Amino acid sequence: MSLYVKICGICSNADLKQIIKLSPDAVGFIQWKKSERFVDPKIVGEWDTPEGIDRVGVFVSPTEKELAHAIQHGRFNTIQVHRIPDNWYADRDFFQGIRFWNAMKPEELYFLDSYFDFDSYVLDSYNPDTVGGTGKTCDWEKSSQLVKALKKPVILAGGLTVDNVQDAIRKVNPFGVDVSSGVEISPGKKDLKLIRKFIQTAKEFKC
């Protein structure tokens, strides 16, 4: 089974149409209004993706109302949640068929004891002013420890590029990788040549 690859921070339908031709496993859309990569879910909902490519909405401390609105309009099948506040909750029965990912720094081990049943974890670097796209790697050593300890899939994010993704996979052994700024010309504008090479490099890696 090849590595799961997510291309995140997509901001235009023109980019999306070209990206899906490269067959990533998932595409991500930032749903945090403070981000320079934010795209309204009603706009995302107008953009089509083929079956087999996950549509991931990326949120910061969302309420159930925000999630319901975004899922309805953006047609997301996966929700990636950053900066989870204490006692955060979403009704899994209400959101049937939706996968939930907990995005966190590898150091935030206390979230692993959360009563909310996340399907997967995304290990990312942290910047108070943005969600993802920081260009900075997270702690790969701690990430590797988490991959070994957790019984659920772990997706590695944070500062990945064509040049370092194989080294990251070798050291961390994640289920998948997530890239945004590492394949951009400028924030939100993707470099299709880099995306093609990133996907190929990640999926060709052999342990």
pLDDT tens-digit map of 68-112: 999 999 999 999 999 887 777 788 888 999 999 999 887 765 555
What distance in Å separates the CA atoms of residue 184 and residue 27, rounded to the nearest whole number?
14
Residue ranges covered by each domain of the chain: 4-204
Give the CA count within 13 Å in the CB-facing half-sphere of 88: 22
The reported pLDDT for the residue numbered 129 is 59
Single pTM value for the model: 0.93
The reported pLDDT for the residue numbered 136 is 76
What distance in Å separates the CA atoms of residue 73 and residue 173, rounded to the nearest whole number?
35
Distances (CA, A) of 53 to 26, 30, 83: 5, 17, 25
Superfamily covering domain 4-204 = Aldolase class I (3.20.20.70)
The reported pLDDT for the residue numbered 122 is 94
The reported pLDDT for the residue numbered 134 is 60
Give yes or no for a contact between 123 and 104, defined as CB atoms under 8 angstroms apart.
yes
The reported pLDDT for the residue numbered 87 is 72
C-alpha distance across the termini of the chain, in Å: 12
- Token pair, residue 38, equals 């934010």
User: Which residue stretches of the chain are H helix?
Assistant: 13-20, 41-44, 64-74, 140-149, 165-172, 192-204
Give yes or no for a contact between 8 and 206, defined as CB atoms under 8 angstroms apart.
no
Mean pLDDT per 10-residue segment, the chain (207 residues): 93 98 98 94 98 96 93 97 80 91 77 72 74 72 90 93 96 96 93 98 84
CA–centroid distance for 40 within its chain: 17
The reported pLDDT for the residue numbered 144 is 93
Residue 190's beta-bridge partner residues?
Answer: 184
The reported pLDDT for the residue numbered 137 is 86
- Residue written as tokens 């955060």? 88
Give φ, ψ of 53 to 5 degrees. -110, 120
